[in-house]
């Protein structure tokens, strides 16, 4: 899961893209990058491992000149943290293209072979670099020196026909402008907005979430449609075309549960409002099926579950308390490599307020349970703080299957709910009761906010993948995503960063 942004303006875009990446930081904290295009026809780039505030210093921002640009926050889908895989990626032929990508391609092995046959070199293991080279390969068919809109859309159609998975893409092409496109099922989010200038001209921004538009004073126009491509030329002309066959909106429902910011609007649904409805529905289930629980207080696991917990407390007519203080400088723990590191991270991330637990039966509310490591540690912390009984509620259903469209959820064997009953999971996390949201109630929480949303990607709950992977794919991601592989990769990446990447880094 990553954050992407692209902008075409009539003044320098570097600060606006930086601002957008700041508010999209929750989508990726591993690396960040910006590429701008100046009027002369040159790219200017800065990218490195780290948070946005650390990657971009004043000297870097001053070099990012130009009225068109793209930005990226990186989240390592398969555990890789190599600085060489920070985005945007760049190729010099044809025209000169820089690209940033949110999501995951499930046919990357096949794409690598196609790149080889097309005599295009892919230098990393990143599927985003493969996507860039596939797009570049399709653009080579254009004969004119300056591509026309239909030339661009034809190349995007060819690209979409080759790639499989979930994705939101932004790219800049020298001499042309900004292009953006979304996968045929709209699994990964992508929105665009506009900002009217006093002289009547219009500036455009494309981003993973609407909050990136808000912070820069852009008005949200709409979501990029499934399989749709946008072209905003360097002089500000806007074009769009559906470039996928049989597009159908089935967005990832986990965006609403966990990843997106509450102040974003995705697929016409307020993330905040959907989380409020999740709380309503979960409270009704607790009343209906767990009315015997003697709950004294409702406490959220900050931050994504706060809105859910408030509604549960309101419906159950119970006190709501902030029982944990969160260290805001710790990243999201379920993507960290290794059980021991995740355990240490939970303890560093949250600290209980003893007065809210001591002598009480507490209902802890979290957005989800993935491996169970975090949940178990939090339950233990509540008991150590003096709780008599600890009940646990999850705003999402049981996560039983890996996500293959851009979220680094582990293989099934590492997921605590895989092939386990509710009672078994409850015992493993050491809770006195465990309540999961039902899948129907989760869907209803989103569709009630936007009735036009009929279907979703719910593969992490059901194992039904709307873009089916090839045979052997899960064995491959098991090798990439298990803890041992991540530990080895982290070591190799650190060596790579020390020995290779920093030497001769012109932007350092």
Looking at per-residue pLDDT, the higher value among 215 and 475 belongs to: 215
Region of poorest pLDDT, from 63-67, 189-193, 336-340: 336-340
pLDDT above 50 (res 15): yes
Q: Which residues contact 237 (CB under 8 A, 6 or more apart)?
A: none
What is the reported pLDDT for 1? 83
Tell me the two tokens of residue 262: 């509450």
Q: Taking the chain, what is the end-to-end CA distance rounded to the nearest angstrom?
A: 26
Contact 454, 444 (CB under 8 A): no
- Residue 487 is classified by DSSP as H
Residue 398: left (phi > 0), alpha (psi -120 to 50), or beta? beta
Rounded-to-integer distance, Cα 508 and Cα 280, Å = 50
pLDDT, one tens digit per residue, over 94-144 is 999 999 999 999 999 999 999 999 999 999 999 999 999 999 999 999 988
Rounded-to-integer distance, Cα 171 and Cα 70, Å = 7
Tell me the two tokens of residue 503: 């030497």
Active site residues: 2
- Name which of 274, 259, 264 is nearest 2 in CA terms: 259
Average pLDDT over residues 236-263: 97
pLDDT, one tens digit per residue, over 45-104 is 999 999 999 999 999 999 999 999 999 999 865 545 678 899 999 999 999 999 999 999
Rounded-to-integer distance, Cα 288 and Cα 437, Å = 12
Q: Which residues contact 81 (CB under 8 A, 6 or more apart)?
A: 30, 31, 49, 489, 490, 493, 494
Tell me the two tokens of residue 115: 């790149």
Average pLDDT over residues 3-9: 98
On average, the pLDDT of the chain sits at 91
- % residues pLDDT > 90 (the chain): 83
pTM score over 0.85? yes
What is the reported pLDDT for 366? 98
pLDDT above 50 (res 219): yes
Looking at per-residue pLDDT, the higher value among 155 and 303 belongs to: 155
Region of poorest pLDDT, from 80-89, 219-228, 244-253, 440-449: 80-89
Output the DSSP codes for 392-449: EEESS----S---SS-----GGGSTTTT--HHHHHHHTT-SEEEEPPHHHHHHHHHTT
Q: CB pairs under 8 A, 24+ apart, for 451-456?
A: 452/268, 453/249, 453/251, 453/267, 453/268, 453/269, 454/249, 455/248, 455/249, 455/250, 456/250, 456/251, 456/252, 456/253
Contact 477, 104 (CB under 8 A): no
Average pLDDT over residues 436-446: 98
What is the reported pLDDT for 78? 54
User: 407 pLDDT band (50/70/90 cuts)?
Assistant: confident
Output the DSSP codes for 294-332: ---EEEE-TTTTHHHHHHHHHHHT--B---EEE-TTS--
């Amino acid at each position: 899961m990553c954050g992407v942004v692209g902008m075409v303006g009539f003044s320098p875009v570097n600060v606006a893209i930086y601002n957008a990446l700041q508010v999209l930081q929750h989508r990726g904290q591993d690396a960040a990058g910006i590429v701008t295009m100046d009027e002369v026809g040159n790219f200017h780039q800065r990218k490195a491992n780290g948070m946005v505030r650390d990657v971009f210093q004043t000297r870097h921002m001053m070099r990012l000149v130009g009225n068109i640009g793209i930005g990226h926050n990186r989240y390592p889908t398969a555990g890789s943290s190599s600085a060489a895989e920070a985005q945007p990626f760049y190729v010099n032929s044809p025209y000169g293209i820089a690209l940033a990508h949110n999501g995951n391609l499930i046919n990357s092995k096949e794409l690598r072979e196609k790149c080889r046959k097309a005599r295009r070199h892919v230098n990393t293991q990143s599927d985003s670099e493969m996507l860039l080279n596939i797009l570049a390969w399709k653009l080579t068919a254009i004969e004119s020196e300056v591509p026309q809109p239909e030339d661009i859309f034809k190349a995007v159609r060819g690209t979409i026909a080759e790639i499989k998975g979930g994705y939101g893409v932004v790219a800049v092409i020298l001499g042309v402008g900004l292009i953006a496109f979304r996968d045929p099922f709209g699994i990964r989010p992508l929105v665009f907005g506009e900002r009217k200038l006093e002289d009547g001209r219009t500036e455009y921004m494309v981003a993973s979430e609407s909050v990136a538009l808000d912070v820069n004073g852009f008005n949200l126009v709409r979501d990029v449609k499934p399989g749709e491509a946008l072209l905003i030329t360097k002089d500000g002309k806007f074009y769009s075309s559906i470039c996928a066959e049989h597009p159908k909106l089935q967005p990832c429902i986990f965006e609403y549960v966990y990843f997106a910011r509450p102040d974003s609007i995705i697929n016409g649904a307020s993330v905040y409002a959907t989380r409020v409805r999740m709380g309503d529905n979960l409270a009704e289930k607790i009343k209906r099926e767990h009315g015997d629980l003697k709950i004294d207080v409702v406490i959220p696991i900050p931050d994504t579950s706060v809105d859910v917990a408030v509604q549960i407390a309101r419906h159950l007519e119970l006190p709501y308390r902030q029982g944990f203080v969160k260290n805001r400088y710790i990243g999201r723990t379920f993507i960290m490599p290794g059980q021991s590191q995740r355990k240490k991270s939970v303890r560093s991330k949250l600290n209980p307020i003893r007065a809210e637990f001591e002598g009480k039966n507490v209902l802890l509310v979290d957005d989800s349970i993935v491996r169970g490591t975090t949940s178990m540690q939090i339950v233990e912390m509540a008991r150590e703080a003096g709780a008599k009984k600890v009940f646990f509620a999850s705003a999402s259903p049981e996560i039983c299957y890996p996500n293959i469209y851009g979220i680094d959820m582990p293989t099934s064997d590492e997921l605590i709910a895989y092939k386990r009953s509710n009672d078994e999971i409850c015992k493993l996390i050491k809770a006195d009761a465990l309540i999961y949201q039902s899948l129907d109630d989760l869907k209803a929480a989103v569709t009630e906010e936007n009735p036009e949303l009929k279907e979703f990607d719910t593969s992490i709950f059901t194992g039904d993948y709307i873009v089916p992977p090839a045979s052997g794919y899960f064995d491959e991601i098991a090798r990439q995503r298990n803890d041992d592989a991540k530990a080895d990769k982290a070591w190799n990446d650190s060596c790579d960063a020390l020995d290779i990447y920093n030497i001769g880094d012109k932007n350092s």
